[in-house]
């Protein structure tokens, strides 16, 4: 006998799109956050249009049942994790690119469009959607909007919020609302579209997004620097910022990651260095040449054993591919929890040093990748499968990394979101008055508390 909320949903949505069998819902009940708890949903509904989402939210309001939005489930904070008895709305089938408008340099998309698919579609018009999370082959624009996703090129081009012009969403009353605008400028009213970006499905379920586009950038030059210490690599990041150079990417990969990727994909990557920095410069002509030279100089002055502009595009592509593959490669070694702290650029060397000390103090492996140019570090805590003592030590290390980031003037999450894993961190980071403002906003947009409850806010 199905739950009353499921029966209410079945009055509007065909049974083949309302999954209730345990084996059908299990794989759709959680994201990629290794430690985050998840429950069993009463149903997973595959939405195909905005009215499906309206029907689900209204049924959930009527039966006071939590409703959890789901894109591709690549999240790393437990944001899309099911709550016992909830309804998960899977939006991946709403994957139409509704409009690409070269004159206005915008695109209108449904939430289930995969990031790379949007980038490919607009490239055919000579246009570019910059936010490029390393999950871009899988993650959806709806998920990217809900987490305010960042990525490799955000150091120069900004994050998802900088590209969201307008949204259609279903609020906590089951109403369809349109927020934002299509025009190049506009200041009518509060920035409610901006508010919803990064709200992790707790303020509304996004059913359409209008994104800003840019012309395709010039081909980039890659500069690689190999360092014998993690903190030297951090010093190079600070030096680049101090020199006023803004590369179009500045990524860090440490030896744990290089080794894990190489063992998996056999790419012939050197694992001799403790850390590799990869910078990309996409300024055309002489200016780009000068920027690349300054990056090489910053790398060398910070102690790089080897630093050069890549003349071998294949090698440069392999290193960038290694950066993108680091997370799945490490996952093969055991459960991985990915941290996401972000610190001011001046403190990147100090923060990297503290992470190394934390790993040694608690006797756990912490691998590092980073959108280093943003100060956004992803220490990845790896524990052997089934080793509960190591997991406990890793939990302590996780909390210490958060405390260190806050102490250095940073934030507990640069791009992955609060979800379940960073709720205590958020409460530690913001003042009680600011937390009260968060709760007030939540109550205003979701008065019955059905939208992804227990995420972001405690």
Ligand X SMILES: Cc1cc2nc3c(=O)[nH]c(=O)nc-3n(C[C@H](O)[C@H](O)[C@H](O)COP(=O)(O)OP(=O)(O)OC[C@H]3O[C@@H](n4cnc5c(N)ncnc54)[C@H](O)[C@@H]3O)c2cc1C
Which residue of 75, 172, 247, 379 would you call a contact of ligand X, by CB under 6 A?
75
416 touches ligand X by CB under 6 A? yes
Continuous segment of H or E residues that includes residue 255:
helix 255-265
171-200 binders of ligand X (CB under 6 A): 200
Which residue of 43, 149, 239, 320 would you call a contact of ligand X, by CB under 6 A?
149
- What span, in angstroms and rounded, lies between the C-alpha atoms of 402 and 386? 24
119 touches ligand X by CB under 6 A? no
Question: Which one of the spans 71-79, 122-130, 256-264, 269-277 is the region binding ligand X (CB under 6 A)?
Answer: 71-79
- What span, in angstroms and rounded, lies between the C-alpha atoms of 301 and 32? 39
3-state secondary structure of 239: helix
In the bound complex, what is the minimum distance in angstroms from residue 21's beta carbon to ligand X? 21
φ, ψ of residue 422 in degrees (nearest 5) = -115, 20
Question: Which one of the spans 72-80, 177-185, 385-393, 429-437 is the region binding ligand X (CB under 6 A)?
Answer: 72-80
Which residue of 30, 46, 58, 70 would you call a contact of ligand X, by CB under 6 A?
70
- What span, in angstroms and rounded, lies between the C-alpha atoms of 51 and 64? 19
In the bound complex, what is the minimum distance in angstroms from residue 214's beta carbon to ligand X? 19
Half-sphere exposure of residue 401: CA atoms within 13 angstroms, side-chain side: 34
Q: Which residues of 9-41 are buried (b: 16+ CB within 10 A; e: fewer)?
A: bbeebeeebbbbeeeebeebbbbbbbbbebbeb
CA 351 to chain centre: 21
In the bound complex, what is the minimum distance in angstroms from residue 360's beta carbon to ligand X? 26
- What span, in angstroms and rounded, lies between the C-alpha atoms of 43 and 334? 30
- What span, in angstroms and rounded, lies between the C-alpha atoms of 113 and 101? 17
In the bound complex, what is the minimum distance in angstroms from residue 114's beta carbon to ligand X? 8
- What span, in angstroms and rounded, lies between the C-alpha atoms of 94 and 365? 40
Q: Which is nearer to ligand X, 201 or 225 (CB)?
A: 201
425 touches ligand X by CB under 6 A? no
73 touches ligand X by CB under 6 A? yes
Q: Site mask, ligand X, residues 303-342, x = CB under 6 A?
A: ------------------------xx--------------
146 touches ligand X by CB under 6 A? yes
Q: Which residues here bind ligand X, judged by CB under 6 A?
A: 31-32, 68-76, 79-80, 91, 111, 133-135, 139-140, 142-144, 146-147, 149-151, 200-201, 205-206, 327-328, 415-416, 452, 455
């Amino acid at each position: 006998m199905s739950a009353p909320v499921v029966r209410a949903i079945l009055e509007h949505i065909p049974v083949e799109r309302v999954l209730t069998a345990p084996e059908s819902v299990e794989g759709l009940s959680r994201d990629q956050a290794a430690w985050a708890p998840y429950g069993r949903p009463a149903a997973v509904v595959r939405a195909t249009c905005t009215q499906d989402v309206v029907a689900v939210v209204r049924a959930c309001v009527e039966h006071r049942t939590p409703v959890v939005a789901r894109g591709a489930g690549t999240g790393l904070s437990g944001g899309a994790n099911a709550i016992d008895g909830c309804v998960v709305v899977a939006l991946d089938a709403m994957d139409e690119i509704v409009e690409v408008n070269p004159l206005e340099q915008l695109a209108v998309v449904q939430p289930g469009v995969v990031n790379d698919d949007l980038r490919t579609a607009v490239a055919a018009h000579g246009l570019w959607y910059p936010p490029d999370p390393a999950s871009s082959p899988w993650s959806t624009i709806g998920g990217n909007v809900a987490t305010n996703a960042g990525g490799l090129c955000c150091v120069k081009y900004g994050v998802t919020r900088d590209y969201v012009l307008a949204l259609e969403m279903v609020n906590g009353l089951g109403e369809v609302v349109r927020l934002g605008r299509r025009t190049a400028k506009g200041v009518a009213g509060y920035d409610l579209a901006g508010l919803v970006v990064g709200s992790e499905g707790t303020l509304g379920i996004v059913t359409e997004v209008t994104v800003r586009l840019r012309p395709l950038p010039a081909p980039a030059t890659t500069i690689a620097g190999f360092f014998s210490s993690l903190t030297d690599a951090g010093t190079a990041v600070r030096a680049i910022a101090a020199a006023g150079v803004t590369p179009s990417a500045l990524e860090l990969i440490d030896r744990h990651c290089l080794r894990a990727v190489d063992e998996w994909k056999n790419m012939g990557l050197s694992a001799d260095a403790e850390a590799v920095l990869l910078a990309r410069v996409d300024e055309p002509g002489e200016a780009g040449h000068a920027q690349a030279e300054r990056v090489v100089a910053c790398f060398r002055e910070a102690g790089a054993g080897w630093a050069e502009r890549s003349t071998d595009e294949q090698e440069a592509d392999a290193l960038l591919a290694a950066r993108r593959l680091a997370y799945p490669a490490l996952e093969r070694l055991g459960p991985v929890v990915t941290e996401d702290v972000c610190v001011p650029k001046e403190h990147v060397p100090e923060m990297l040093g503290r992470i190394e000390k934390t790993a040694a103090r608690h006797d756990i492996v912490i691998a590092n990748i980073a959108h280093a140019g943003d100060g956004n570090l992803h220490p990845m805590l790896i524990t052997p499968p089934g080793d509960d003592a190591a997991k406990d030590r890793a939990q302590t290390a996780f909390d210490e990394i958060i405390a260190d980031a806050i102490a250095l003037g940073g934030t507990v999450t640069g791009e992955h979101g609060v979800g379940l894993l960073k709720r205590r961190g958020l409460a530690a980071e913001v003042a009680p008055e600011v937390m009260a403002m968060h709760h007030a906003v939540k109550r205003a947009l979701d008065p019955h508390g059905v939208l992804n409850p227990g995420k972001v806010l405690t």
